[in-house]
Amino acid sequence: MEVEKDGIMFHLSEHHGDGTPGTHAFIRCAGVKEYHEELINKKYKYNRPGLEKTFYNTLSFTVNDPFNNQISFNQGLSES
């Protein structure tokens, strides 16, 4: 199965060994500030990530699922 948003395709798998609880995916993309705002405006009670400037020079936020998997969305600051 896959999900897609704005040209970013994410493949999901239930196959043994493809990932374990606690997996962290790093995505470099454009529009991080706008996507963060879109998620915050949905007013999810349990997942309201902060937006931060990282030490590796990106604008970033991370979302978590109930199994503690994380997806970090990152945009280079020179790309904004």
Residue type, 18: D
Whether 63 contacts 15, CB under 8 Å? no
pLDDT per residue as tens digits for the range 15-74: 887 878 888 999 999 999 999 999 999 999 888 999 999 999 999 999 998 888 899 999
Q: Can you list the alpha helix ranges (DSSP code H) found in 1-80? A: 32-41
Spell out the domains of the chain, with CATH numbers in brackets: 22-79 (3.10.180.10)
pTM for the model stands at: 0.85
